Structure 1
Amino acid sequence: MSSSWSSGRRPITIAILAMGGEGGGVLADWIVAVGQKAGWYAQNTSVAGVAQRTGATVYYVELYPPSLAPAGESARQQPVLSLFPTPGEVDVVIASELMEAGRAVQRGFATPDRTTLIASTNRVYSMDERLALGDGRADSAALLSAAEAGAKRLVSADFMALATTAGSVISASLFGALAGSAALPFPRPEFEAAIRASGKGVDASLRAFAAGYDAATAPPPAPASRGNGPVALTLQPRRPVDPVEAAAQAEERRRRQIAATDPGSLVGPGLQAHARRVADHFPVPARDMLLHGCVRTAVYQDIDYTDRYLQRVSRLAAIELDPAGEARLTVEAARHVALWMTYQDTIHVAHQKIRSKRIAGVRDEAGAKKGQIVDVREYLHPQVEEITDTLPTAMGRRLSRSKMFRRIVTRATRNGIVVNTTGTIGFSMLWVMARFRPMRPRSYRFAREQEALDTWIDRAVRVGRDDPELAREVIECQRVLKGYGATHEHGRESFALLMAAVDTLASGPGRARAAAEIQRLREAALADEDGTALRAALAQVAPGALAAVA
């Protein structure tokens, strides 16, 4: 029967799950340094994770107290320590991100009978989450709840934000949380001494360490009370706050307040008349989204295009069921009409890639200092349709049907193209391409998109006279239209099926549940890229839609 490490029968086992650039190896080295300075046997190893954010590197540390090692001439004086963590046998798990904490529980590293789980509540989205056609983000509250249930003790905070505020990396704040958790029998000064001994970024690391230590040792919030008697409380897991999302939400609230009182201050001088129109003719909850749409369409094309945007949204606002309340139809119309009107073409992609704000963002993300040279390279793989869609209508239509032109483009771009955005030639190529914006209304794709847009809005207005909720679902079906190339083509196929389903359900005996069924079908369309889930769902609720599109 095994006993705990404190009786001398087993070492302290620590697993660290961290991604590249987060200092997981440095954190493991610090822990080893603390143990060795105290006279303990210490060993650390690592198992590399998979690239592109599908798995973190696992750093594994074992600490064994020398005073309890076997004695005697015939006994081995040094313990044999393991190279890898064993599920169910890990005392401390440190996760640099919330998804990794969930994976630690899933893999059995964190267990309710033994493990102290130290987890940062920030999120770095996995490839599966990013590749999802819809909102593929995992529920952070569910992840935190699973971490709490899967560990003997959970120490959680946004250690990434604490480290960033201190000007350091997350390994330092996690090291502070480890010291504050008292999971290791060493005093705080020994941890700080290990940071000082490293000799790199000491001051910033110590600030982050202190912040992590304070977060781990902070007392829990006092329970609420009501009157003089006791109150039974049901504790819910605290939903972690992503600092980026929190800042975006705060900015959105600020903009909504301004949009309700002074919308003109949120747009440039060329859009003041549009801001007044938004303030005079649209519900308050939709104004911020409408101002976003005005700016987006003006940057994408011109002021006349913004006029067309507001005219389209006004048709849907006219059938708004709740203009004095949440105005959900108008809000979604403001969002999705703007997104469709600013579809991605080569002109738009070129314009976005050379914007100074984007280059500055790349420099910030890379941590480049003033005066440092940063090269930004674009890996492009243009398709025939992306080229012909940008050309004047007659030329684009003719070349799209040319087998010879298709062979030439396929051969020239089969290995992709690399463009250096920060180089003279690369920047000039993209700049010239972006200058074709005034020609966009005469392009092969533009007329098709405008016709499809108006047909979509016509359908929403038609069904919305009897069922505004169905109209909102029709508008939200724009979510399946994403990206460009093959991805966009698949989205168009799914969109056509959804619109056929709208016509079938709105005129059939199931009109009362049409909105709920379209919502379910849209979610099926976003479940996979090839439309398998959507077709299966349509076969059950609207088989006529499949026949109509076929």
Structure 2
Amino acid sequence: MHGLLNAGWRATSIGLLGLSQRAGTVTYYCEAIPGQGKTPITSVFATPGDVDLLIGQELLELGRLVFGGFASSTCSIIGNSTRYLTTMEKMPAEGGIYDSSIIARAVAELAPGRHNVVDAQRLVLEAGLPALTSNALLLGAAIASPAFDLPREPFHEAIRESEVNVKASIAAFDIGYNRVKDGTLPRMMVEGQAPVDGAELARQRQGRLSENQRKDYDRLLSHAAVTYGPRMHLILAEALYRLMDYQDTQYAEDFLERVAKMAKQPGADANLVEAYAQHLSNWMTYEDGARVAQLKTRPERFERIKQEFGVTGDQRFVVTDYLVPDMEQILGGLPKPIANLAEKIGRMFKSDFDAMKFPIQVNTNGFWGYATMRGISMLKGVRRSSRRYGHEQILLARWEAAIVTNLKKSPQLGALAADAGRIVKGYGRVRTDALNDFWIFLDEGLPRIERLVQAGGSMDTLGSKALALLAKEAASAPMMRAFLDAEEQRIKPA
């Protein structure tokens, strides 16, 4: 708005309370007209079908505006295709991400030839600018668009007046402005989900491992490829990397031994083994304190933060992590005898011992903060003797027994028991709720599905729908029960 005022326009704006996963908590609406004539009467609310320019700092935010019907018949649309996932997209355990192509198609149909939806963050990073200057790039594109087509100088002045990252913001503004003017700014940079190449994935993952682990990774993956064929290559390439990065080579070998044992079970087909391997690798890399500390102190994390915020040269920056470990998470990382003793003593002095939490702030790239986190990450050396590890082994054995038991009844039931591993995700309370759903499915859901199939129901349909309900969000067992109740009423023999 300040740029428009500098350009001699009359302009008013208002921030409307709303949702924004990328840029704050308001949607800004601006009305402006050129010249210095009579004072215009402006509105503080956007009128559907009468907005001449839509700017979305994030793709889903742009989608809300597009589907809200605000655009006029000659509207120009400028948007950022970079995704910052919403809370509602992150909450489901799987399949919660909105399909970006729906928004892309709507924009192209609504404003043919008058839209630029680009990966603004990528464009500024490629120019050596901070990721957060992507807003300035979008502004430059908007000012050069048919909606305004104004000179850049008044907006340069507005950026200088803001006194916020002036040099980088002007450079980003000029990228958007110049590329609209010369016609080189892409109309659409919303890409679909490209198929993943297994060989390329393996090369990438191998490159992330230490020099000593790379040969072991290649050896294990090559042997597994011969044993299981190309169908399993993608899963195993990712699984072996995660397991070796999480613990060590022996841990990855333990994983392959469990997969081989399951594959030898009578009736175990490729679908069962594939599902079991994928979900087993996720389960075995559960997030404990050592893993969190390992991820928080990686050099590439600090480099990514520096790049995102445009930290250069000798500029000082501080990374503060906010952690809230509970008592179970703390004790779970300790050797079982020590954890049990600490728990026994703690219960003597604190009646709410189990509910205790410890909110902390750690300057992770400071000397003491980094040293503390690195020390915690070294607990992975005693992970196999920890109380949490022993507990997870018991749970895994129970899951494997359920797979074998159901496999003896039918290959389809066995495959469903294996695929149920996708329910187990998250940490803390979420993981506890997910595990409860998991056991309810194995102990109650599968027998009910078996009876429904005997009454004429479809194993694939019943199993996939029940699992989808549970995998979407933790603590969804009541939804699965309601679904099976309805199916029992529908399929009930006359």
Question: 1:465: Cα distance to partner?
Answer: 6.9
Alignment partner of 1:141: what SS? Answer: helix
Aligned to 2:190: 240
Instruction: Kindly report which structure 2 residues correspond to 1:29-428, keeping only aligned pairs within 5 A, or say none.
Output: 29-34=2-7, 36=8, 40-47=9-16, 53=22, 57-66=26-35, 77-110=38-71, 113=73, 115-147=75-107, 155-160=115-120, 161-168=122-129, 169-178=133-142, 181-184=145-148, 186=149, 190-197=150-157, 198=159, 200-201=166-167, 202-213=170-181, 240-241=190-191, 254-255=200-201, 268-317=214-263, 329-397=272-340, 400=343, 403-404=347-348, 407=351, 409=353, 413=357, 416-428=359-371
Alignment partner of 1:478: what SS? Answer: helix
Quick one: which amino acid aligns to residue 174 of structure 2? L
Query: Is the alpha carbon distance of 1:178 and 1:427 closer, same or farther for their aligned partners in structure 2, counting shifts above 3 Å?
Result: closer
The separation in 1 between residues aligned to 2:444 and 2:334, in whole angstroms, is 33
Query: Is the alpha carbon distance of 1:428 and 1:251 closer, same or farther for their aligned partners in structure 2, counting shifts above 3 Å?
Result: farther
Question: 1:371: Cα distance to partner?
Answer: 2.4
Question: 1:338: Cα distance to partner?
Answer: 0.9
Q: Normalised by the size of structure 2, how large is the TM-score?
A: 0.80
Greater displacement, 396-405 / 282-291:
396-405
Cα RMSD (Å): 4.0
The separation in 1 between residues aligned to 2:171 and 2:105, in whole angstroms, is 35
Q: Normalised by the size of structure 1, how large is the TM-score?
A: 0.72
Q: Is the 8 A contact 2:291 2:377 kept in 1?
A: yes
Alignment partner of 1:360: what SS? Answer: helix
The separation in 1 between residues aligned to 2:211 and 2:235, in whole angstroms, is 14
The separation in 2 between residues aligned to 1:462 and 1:410, in whole angstroms, is 35
The separation in 2 between residues aligned to 1:486 and 1:204, in whole angstroms, is 43
Aligned to 2:492: none
Q: Is the 8 A contact 1:115 1:153 kept in 2?
A: no
The separation in 2 between residues aligned to 1:217 and 1:273, in whole angstroms, is 46
Question: 1:398: Cα distance to partner?
Answer: 5.8
Alignment partner of 1:436: what SS? Answer: helix
Q: For residues 336-358 of structure 1, what are the alpha-carbon distances to aligned partners after superposition, in whole Å with 9 as ceiling and x for unaligned?
A: 21110111222222222223333
Q: For residues 458-488 of structure 1, what are the alpha-carbon distances to aligned partners after superposition, in whole Å with 9 as ceiling and x for unaligned?
A: 4335545776555444333223222222111
Aligned to 1:15: none
Q: Is the 8 A contact 1:32 1:43 kept in 2?
A: no
Quick one: which amino acid aligns to residue 124 of structure 1? Y
Please say if 1:499 is aligned against 2:446: no
Q: Is the 8 A contact 2:423 2:434 kept in 1?
A: yes
Quick one: which amino acid aligns to residue 534 of structure 1? M
Alignment partner of 2:451: what SS? Answer: coil
Quick one: which amino acid aligns to residue 240 of structure 1? V
> Where in structure 2 are there 5+ consecutive unaligned residues?
161-165, 490-494
Question: 1:99: Cα distance to partner?
Answer: 0.9
Question: 1:496: Cα distance to partner?
Answer: 0.6
Q: Is the 8 A contact 1:440 1:446 kept in 2?
A: yes
Query: Is the alpha carbon distance of 1:104 and 1:258 closer, same or farther for their aligned partners in structure 2, counting shifts above 3 Å?
Result: closer
Aligned to 1:516: 461
Quick one: which amino acid aligns to residue 287 of structure 2? Q
Alignment partner of 1:368: what SS? Answer: coil
Quick one: which amino acid aligns to residue 352 of structure 1? L
Q: Is the 8 A contact 1:393 1:444 kept in 2?
A: yes
**Is the radius of gyration larger for structure 1 or structure 2?**
1
Q: Is the 8 A contact 1:162 1:211 kept in 2?
A: no
The separation in 2 between residues aligned to 1:151 and 1:106, in whole angstroms, is 13
> Where in structure 1 are there 5+ consecutive unaligned residues?
1-27, 70-76, 221-237, 544-550
Question: 1:278: Cα distance to partner?
Answer: 1.7
The separation in 1 between residues aligned to 2:212 and 2:109, in whole angstroms, is 45
Greater displacement, 436-445 / 143-152:
143-152
The separation in 2 between residues aligned to 1:340 and 1:252, in whole angstroms, is 22
Query: Is the alpha carbon distance of 1:105 and 1:363 closer, same or farther for their aligned partners in structure 2, counting shifts above 3 Å?
Result: same
The separation in 2 between residues aligned to 1:393 and 1:164, in whole angstroms, is 47
The separation in 2 between residues aligned to 1:391 and 1:484, in whole angstroms, is 17
Alignment partner of 1:482: what SS? Answer: coil
Quick one: which amino acid aligns to residue 513 of structure 1? S
Q: Is the 8 A contact 2:11 2:33 kept in 1?
A: yes
Alignment partner of 2:27: what SS? Answer: strand
The separation in 2 between residues aligned to 1:266 and 1:438, in whole angstroms, is 17
Residue of structure 1 aligned with 2:431, choices 488, 498, 502: 488
Q: How many residues align?
A: 471
The separation in 2 between residues aligned to 1:287 and 1:369, in whole angstroms, is 40
The separation in 1 between residues aligned to 2:417 and 2:261, in whole angstroms, is 14
Query: Is the alpha carbon distance of 1:257 and 1:54 closer, same or farther for their aligned partners in structure 2, counting shifts above 3 Å?
Result: closer
More contact order relative to length (CA 8 Å, sep ≥ 6): 2
The separation in 1 between residues aligned to 2:263 and 2:41, in whole angstroms, is 73
Question: 1:495: Cα distance to partner?
Answer: 0.6
Query: Is the alpha carbon distance of 1:173 and 1:388 closer, same or farther for their aligned partners in structure 2, counting shifts above 3 Å?
Result: closer
Query: Is the alpha carbon distance of 1:157 and 1:105 closer, same or farther for their aligned partners in structure 2, counting shifts above 3 Å?
Result: closer
Quick one: which amino acid aligns to residue 135 of structure 2? S
The separation in 2 between residues aligned to 1:48 and 1:164, in whole angstroms, is 30
Question: 1:386: Cα distance to partner?
Answer: 1.4
Quick one: which amino acid aligns to residue 158 of structure 1? V
